Chain A
Amino acid sequence: MSLTTLLQALVSGALVGCLYALIAAGFSLVLSVSRGLNLAHGELVVLGGYAGYAAWLLLGVHPLLLLPLAALATLPLGLVWDRLTARLAPPVELWSCVLTFGLSLLLQSAMTGFWSGEYRLLASPALGHGVALGGVALSHARLAAALVALAAVGALALGLRRARWGRAIRATSLDRDAASLLGIDVERATRLAFVLAFGLAGGAGLLFATIHYLYPAAGSELTLLAITLAIWAGIGRMRALLFGGVALGVVEALTVAVAGTGWREPALALLLLASLLARGGALAREFGRRS
């Protein structure tokens, strides 16, 4: 492998890693406040992508301008998920898996019914070119996706740390009962977290659609990605998520550069398995902390 190719893999991986972090951020947020694993997260991203694609077909403007529309498409579902998750019997981690598994199938059926199984690519001419920096090729679409993802995750991290709503969410995720005793409206904080997370997923979907084609079953891989990153970074930690995302992107790009594209998916599955085995104990402790 030449040095240029290695450099290319590093840069490409880092860029797409930012998008991975954005995709995982919503998942992690939901996990932190509700202790629920949303296995339909990938489908929500794809749904946002389809919504963005439909809007682009209709309006024809620069895809980035359609981000709010894509986010709005999935945002309301956050309220639905919030209601449903609140009704789950303990252990919530497990039952949320089963519930959201069913919801993911539901979403897939809906998307197949609406858009059929064909592949769609948001091939906007506005993002159709690239720039070359010292032998490394950077496509505009991936640069844009990475920048938007960084901005979004950064804003989320900032909000969680400084803003009142952010602190409320964090308090709720740390210890729900204590937060409630301290006068924080935990129901509202949870609802806000869901809505925020789902909006981010929708926006991530639009970015996804500009660099990869959409099809109803595309979500399962994205869900596995989000789970892997959430386990690596720890629940709710945005900065760690960002680093983890970039690391994952780079590892993936190197795998592709060395072993070819076919081994990409099994490599990801192996990473997830290894993360679970390595952090299994720690996960149990984190899950057990919620009363």
Chain B
Amino acid sequence: MTPARPSFSVLLLLLLRLAAAPVRAAEPIIIGEIDSRTGQFAAQGSAIHQGVTLAVEEANGRGGIAGRPLALLSRDDEGKPQRAVAAAEELTGRHGAVALVGGYVDSLVGPVAEVADRARAPYVAAASLDERLTARGNRYFFRVSNLRAYVDVTTGVVREVFKARHVAILYSHTPGASQLARRQKEVFERAGIHVAVFEPFAPGLSDFTPLLARVRDQGAEVLLSDTFFADHLLLVRQMAQSGLRVDAFLGAFGLEFPSVVLELGPASEGLYGTTSWQPDVNWAGREQESRLFVAAYTRRFGRAPVPLTMHGYAAARAVIRALETLGGGAITGDHLREALARVDLETPLGRVKFDDHGDPVAYERVVVQIQNGRHVVVYPPNHATASPKYPAR
């Protein structure tokens, strides 16, 4: 035997091996996204969709997950629970999506979370607030925002900055708004602040001046408007028209947008809103990443991002990070779920990490005020970029 030359049989074996093994194309990892792209919440759903798309594209630009590209399958839920569930079933069942992201309306997020639980595909919601959804032991449901941040920051500013003794709370009928109002009331009453008016707000052609008059009669210094963008417009305008003023008007949802200044003009001066992230509003060492995000988004979509975009981006980033930690190999629902539970990630939205119930551990919001036509952060003090003008006028 001549030991230097590889034997013919070994070569033959190698050749057979190569011929038998098929050339494996990198099979894509499918992520499902369900958002409202049409209907009442089309603007919000599209914003989340764009954030998710950006995150997925960035990950693919980095080479995907262990050489496998990410495929994003997006579905429109049209604002209807039945369609959302159909989309969730289709994505997880028919297409084998390993995870789901998206979601703005809690009445859709809830049913989708149920499907995710039964299909064993983790679901990271971009903007869910309903407390009941994380209280039911659904191990496959995660979200990057929660109600507590809203409660903390709105009650905190009233107690510590405004130091008001009497407040009025108006709230919309949605789960998020009505739960926020209830929690605010609890906190205020524990702190000895009198909640003079506590009412649901359903807009219509009829005048709210009697309602606003009641707010004034009861001596409320601060009006917490737990309603949405259009309702704020109506209320602020009616307040201006009826001459009924409060020392502070705080809208937890929707007053952080630049379009408030556009729509209301000078009447927007002094209004308070809350935000978690905005292109011109940064805090605590996230400026660099934030600017990169804004630049990347503007390059990709041709305009400035809105807060919901960041929520979608953060949710998708969490899923991608969890997939990365799994490495190569088969992805099972259980493993991905465990990986998500261990995720600890820095994004412009802040630190993304989930607790045992799927709620975010470090989701924070700040209070902004419109001063001279621009939004500035006024609370909490460690993030503030300007001091609040209180009373507003």
Contacts and interface: CB of A to CB of B under 8 A. Distances in A.
B263 A123 contact: yes
Given A5-B214, A117-B42, A213-B233, A264 B173 contact: no
A137 B202 contact: no
A234 to B, nearest CB: 23
B244 interface: yes
A212 B234 CA distance: 7
Contacts of B68: none
A262 B177 CA distance: 14
A53 to B, nearest CB: 12
B243 A121 contact: no
A213 B243 contact: no
B221 to A, nearest CB: 19
A213 B211 contact: no
A15 B230 CA distance: 22
Interface string B199-210: 111111111111
B241 A260 contact: no
Given A112-B38, A117-B40, A13 B241 contact: no
Contacts of A4: 213
Contacts of B41: 117
Interface in B185-242: 199-211, 213-214, 217, 229-230, 233-234, 237-238, 240-242
A129 B242 CA distance: 7
Contacts of B40: 117, 215, 217
A130 B241 contact: yes
B205 A128 contact: no
A16 B238 CA distance: 14
Given A118-B43, A249-B206, A256 B243 contact: no
B69 to A, nearest CB: 32
Given A125-B265, A249-B206, A132 B200 contact: no
B63 interface: no
Task: Determine the main DSSP class of A at the interface with B.
Answer: helix
B241 A121 contact: no
Contact of B205 (A119, A125, A211, A262): A211
Interface string B245-287: 0000000000000000001110100000000000000000000
A109 B248 CA distance: 39
A212 B241 contact: no
Interface string A1-26: 01011001100110110011000000
A174 B43 CA distance: 49
- Residue with the highest number of chain A CB atoms closer than 10 Å, among B38, B42, B205: B205
B206 A252 contact: yes
Interface in A229-280: 249, 252-253, 256-257, 260-262, 264-265
Given A116-B42, A125-B265, A130-B241, A212 B205 contact: yes
B200 A137 contact: no
A262 B174 CA distance: 12
Contacts of A217: 40
Nearest to A216: B40
Interface size class of B (residues with CB under 8 A): 35 or more
Contacts of A123: 233, 237, 263-265
Task: Determine the main DSSP class of B at the interface with A.
Answer: helix
Contact of B211 (A2, A129, A252, A261): A261
Contacts of A121: 230, 233-234, 237, 263
Given A121-B230, A121-B234, A261-B200, A8 B210 contact: yes
Contacts of B243: 130, 132, 137
B39 interface: yes
A56 interface: no
A273 to B, nearest CB: 18
Contacts of A140: 241
A39 to B, nearest CB: 19
Contact of A261 (B38, B39, B199, B233): B199
A208 B205 contact: yes
Contacts of B206: 12-13, 16, 249, 252-253, 256, 261, 264
Contacts of B242: 130, 132, 137, 139
Contacts of A129: 240-241
A28 B202 CA distance: 28
Nearest to A10: B210
A221 B203 CA distance: 12
B205 A19 contact: yes
Contacts of B213: 4-5, 8, 137
Nearest to A261: B202
B198 to A, nearest CB: 10
A35 interface: no
Nearest to A142: B207
A141 interface: yes
A128 B267 contact: yes
A119 B229 contact: yes
A264 B203 CA distance: 9
B262 to A, nearest CB: 10
Given A119-B229, A256-B206, A262-B173, A137 B244 contact: yes
- Residue with the highest number of chain A CB atoms closer than 10 Å, among B41, B208, B240, B242: B242
Contacts of A265: 202, 204
B240 A12 contact: no
- Residue with the highest number of chain B CB atoms closer than 10 Å, among A4, A116, A141: A116
29 contacts: A5-B213, A8-B210, A12-B206, A13-B207, A16-B205, A16-B206, A112-B38, A117-B40, A117-B42, A121-B234, A123-B233, A128-B267, A129-B241, A137-B244, A139-B207, A139-B238, A213-B230, A213-B233, A213-B234, A256-B208, A257-B211, A260-B199, A260-B211, A261-B202, A261-B203, A261-B211, A264-B204, A265-B202, A265-B204
Q: Which 10 A-B pairs have the closest CB atoms?
A: A119-B230, A139-B241, A137-B242, A12-B207, A130-B241, A117-B40, A257-B210, A262-B200, A213-B230, A261-B202
Given A5-B213, A142-B207, 6 more contacts: A123-B263, A130-B240, A137-B213, A139-B242, A212-B204, A261-B199
Interface of B: 38-43, 173, 199-211, 213-214, 217, 229-230, 233-234, 237-238, 240-244, 263-265, 267
